[in-house]
Amino acid sequence: MNLYPFKFEPILKPVIWGGSEICKFKQITPPRDGIGESWEISGVKDHISVISNGDLAGTSLQELIMKTGSRLVGKKVYEKYGNTFPLLIKFIDARENLSIQVHPDDELAKKRHNSFGKTEMWYVINATPDAFIYSGFAKKITPDEYVERIKNDTFIETLKKHHVKPGDVFFIPAGRVHAIGAGCFIAEIQQTSDITYRIYDYNRKDADGNPRELHTELAKDAIDYTVYDSYKTEYVPSPNRPVQLVKCPYFTTNLLEMNQTLTRLYHQLDSFVIYICIEGKSTIKDNKGNTLSLHQGESLLIPADTNAVELIPSTYTKILETYVE
């Protein structure tokens, strides 16, 4: 079976807090309102991505891994994760504030849910002038004080609020309390996990008029209560060369900004590579002779048996490049 760069059918998620930007950004017609998330590449059970291009169109990502194993994902990745794809790639469009939440780490998630934990990162694509996110604590609290503040509706006062603009990056390790605020359009890269503990939801009601379920006790042991000096990732953009944004045990992510041809060599990398196109349009050529286009709003999975890729932008282009080291 010949492997080539794969595109996937987006999995669009209509939600009550969703906006109108995802379909426009991805150039999907007719546009749909109320779409909060587009799952670009997913190995989450019951939400498995399906290939949309080439000879293997219609094949699921899981089928592809089962048939090709380490050729697709890399030897070390396949040994660790088996037939589960290790990353979930999303676009998120928040018209309203999302709930404040936390995710367990691998150890706690395995113990409680037989699942991987969830470490993630956000790249802000667009933001309204008053858009913000919460990430981490602004003041020190104890686990017992956390429970008390949830009861008396003062928990939000303890959080670090960040006003955001396009290009901002936040790394959200498992255990860090966080929330996406209204007006944020974000690319999210995360571990393959759907385990979320909802901590606070602004006292909103569900469709039946009932308060939304909170996971106060589950979250109590999952939260990292440390107050850190900084929560935002600082980087210096550098056109036509990779700029590292995040490096952690679960993924490494680089920003590729280009107005001229950029060649990426992967022969020493034992992993798949994902491209998430944030802006512009490029022609992608690999060492196997495959050529295809990648435009704003599209994501691409480069198989691990690919040795080199040439990116040829037709206009100024920004791409997030992510893989597992």
Q: Which of 28-37, 188-197, 284-293 has the highest mean pLDDT?
A: 284-293
pTM equals: 0.96
Mean pLDDT of 201-222: 89
Burial 239-276 (b: 16+ CB within 10 A, else e): eeeeeebbeeebbbbbbbbbeeebebebeebbbbbbbb
Q: Of 164, 240, 153, nearest to 203 (Cα)? A: 153
d(CA 118, CA 102): 9
Round to whole Å and give the CA distance between 234 and 318.
17
Given 3.20.20.140, 3.30.465.10, 3.30.1490.20, 2.60.120.10, which CATH number is that of 11-233?
2.60.120.10
To the nearest whole percent, how much of the chain has pLDDT over 90? Answer: 93
Q: Which amino acid is at 138?
A: A
Reported as a pLDDT band with limits 50, 70 and 90, residue 210 is confident
Place of tokens 């480069």: 302
Burial track 34-64 (b if 16+ CB lie within 10 A, e otherwise): bbbbbbbbbbeeeebbbbeeeebeebebbeb
Give percent helix, percent strand, percent coil of the chain, each to the nearest 5: 15, 40, 45
Residue 84 CA to its chain's centroid (Å)? 16
Q: Where in the chain are the domains?
A: 11-233, 243-323
Q: How far is CA 234 from the centre of its chain?
A: 18
> Per-residue pLDDT tens for 32-73?
999 999 999 999 999 999 999 999 999 999 999 999 999 999
The C-alpha atoms of residue 322 and residue 310 are separated, in whole angstroms, by: 16
Confidence of residue 249 (pLDDT cuts 50, 70, 90): very high
Q: In 3D, which of 17, 12, 25 has the Cα closest to residue 99?
A: 17
Res 212: pLDDT: 84
pLDDT at 207 over 80: no
| 205 — pLDDT class (breaks 50, 70, 90) | confident
User: Are both 11-233 and 243-323 of the same fold?
Assistant: yes
Rounded mean pLDDT of 224-237? 97
CATH of domain 243-323: 2.60.120.10
pLDDT category, 105, cuts 50, 70, 90?
Answer: very high
Phi and psi for 176 in degrees, rounded to 5? -90, 125
Token pair recorded at residue 191: 């571990």
Catalytic residues: 198
Residue 311, pLDDT above cutoff 80? yes
